[in-house]
Amino acid sequence: MKSFTDHFTSNANNPEFYSVFQQLQYGELHIKRDTASGLLAIIAIHSTRLGPALGGCRFQPYHSLEAAIIDCLRLAQGMSYKAAISHLPLGGGKAVLIKPNKTYDRTHLFRLFGQTVNELGGRYITAEDSGTHMMDMDIIRTVTPYVTGNSQQSFIQKDPSILTAFGVRRGIEAAVKYQLQKDSLQNIHVAIQGVGNVGYRLAKELHQHGAILTICDINPENVKRCVAEFSAKVIAPEQIHQVACDVFAPCALSNPVNTQNINEINAPIIAGSANNQLENLELAVRLKERGILYAPDYVINAGGLIHVYAQYYGKQESIAKENVNNIYNTLLIIFECATKENLPTTTIANRLAEQRLYS
Ligand code: NAD
């Protein structure tokens, strides 16, 4: 494949995305390139069977077009599963805008991207994601109605991470009830990896409910506010997974649980907001063998999607919160089925989502 010099320094030739495309049961894949502006956008629509494919738009550099496509395909499939398990009338989609390595006009770029979204006629609805902000959604909104999370929408709380954190707290409560037979978070020790938008709000919720916190972050300012506000104990980022605690809550990067560190995890529960928490699905089996209860990421972190869905369709905030609150019950069902059938929680969650997606 020819290199796109506005975007990449290396030239990769990797046909992996064809097999990912097939394995993930796609769907549609759209690529839009505009050399004058530097736009190189990928939109993956995994499914529209349950409704339009709603999913965020990432803006970040990639080392190759193939890497960006694979990321987009996997993320869009995850959105289908997240919507299905949350009983939302939505499909799954995602967009990736590859950040140019040359100067670019951000407004122009997002306007062109918005036009591309518009050409899909509502099959894909875009939203904020890593590297994009509400002001980008405001630009997109000037050229298409198929965008949510912009400043004109009526929600008082515009930031989806508030509902995401609430859902993660409810998910931790379900896991603590199931695994530790405790009805309260009082004195439950939680180790949070990453106290950014979601992690900080989760720390606040947990602190208000009497939990004890150990935290880490690579950003010292984020660490400081958790120490000042919640008396959190601080540990180095490379040690957070080893903390002897009740709950390990990954709220930063992809793959916080990987082949290198799985045996060092020292908590009976893993429950956090990060997307793609397990490096591969085999690790779900290893966690089960180690007696560690894993709350599947796309179930526990669905609060953000529920927020943007409710905003887009003009639902009341209270209804959205009630829907997020239900993450507690969904997880309990998954935990109970997993024990009964002696299967990893991820298998049960995927099966539930697939029943809704494909039946
Ligand atoms: P964020 O960027 O605001 O926060 C991430 C935090 O992790 C930052 O403070 C960053 O400094 C820190 N960090 C980065 N690398 C780290 C490392 N190696 N060790 C420790 N800390 C590190 O992002 P966010 O919006 O809070 O999202 C966190 C995670 O939750 C992401 O995986 C995101 O995809 C997922 N998620 C977020 C939402 C939402 O509503 N924002 C919804 C669903 C899922």
Tokens linked to 17 = 């995305």
**Which atom of ligand 1 has the smallest separation from the CA of 216?**
20
Q: For the chain, list residues with pLDDT below 70.
A: 1-5, 8-15, 154-156
> β-strands 39-47, 28-34: how paired?
antiparallel
Q: Is 7 exposed, middle or buried (0-12, 13-18, 19+ CB in 10 A)?
A: buried
| CB of 86 shorter than 6 A to ligand 1 | no
What's the pLDDT score for residue 225? Answer: 98
What's the pLDDT score for residue 10? Answer: 53
Ligand 1 centre and the CA of 194: distance in Å? 6
**Which atom of ligand 1 has the smallest separation from the CA of 276?**
32
In whole angstroms, give the CA distance from residue 165 to residue 10.
38
Ligand 1 centre and the CA of 133: distance in Å? 14
What's the pLDDT score for residue 1? Answer: 44
What's the pLDDT score for residue 7? Answer: 74
Q: What is the separation, in whole angstroms, between the first and last Cα of the chain? A: 38
In whole angstroms, give the CA distance from residue 68 to residue 73.
9
Q: What is the pTM of this model?
A: 0.92
Residue 93 assigned ligand-binding role: no
Structural domains in the chain, CATH included, are 2-80+91-141 (3.40.50.10860), 160-358 (3.40.50.720)
**Residue 51 DSSP code:** S
| CB of 171 shorter than 6 A to ligand 1 | no
**Pocket probe mutation, ligand 1, options 58, 128, 161, max atoms within 8 Å of Cβ:** 161
Residue 194 assigned ligand-binding role: yes
User: Which SS3 state, helix, strand or coil, does residue 128 take?
Assistant: coil
**Which atom of ligand 1 has the smallest separation from the CA of 160?**
40
| CB of 217 shorter than 6 A to ligand 1 | yes
Nearest Cα residue to 57 out of 111, 97, 10: 97
For residues 237-246, one letter each, b for 16 or more C-beta atoms within 10 angstroms of the residue's C-beta and e for the rest, the string is eeebbbbebb
**Pocket probe mutation, ligand 1, options 169, 197, 308, max atoms within 8 Å of Cβ:** 197
Residue 168 assigned ligand-binding role: no
Residue 199 assigned ligand-binding role: yes
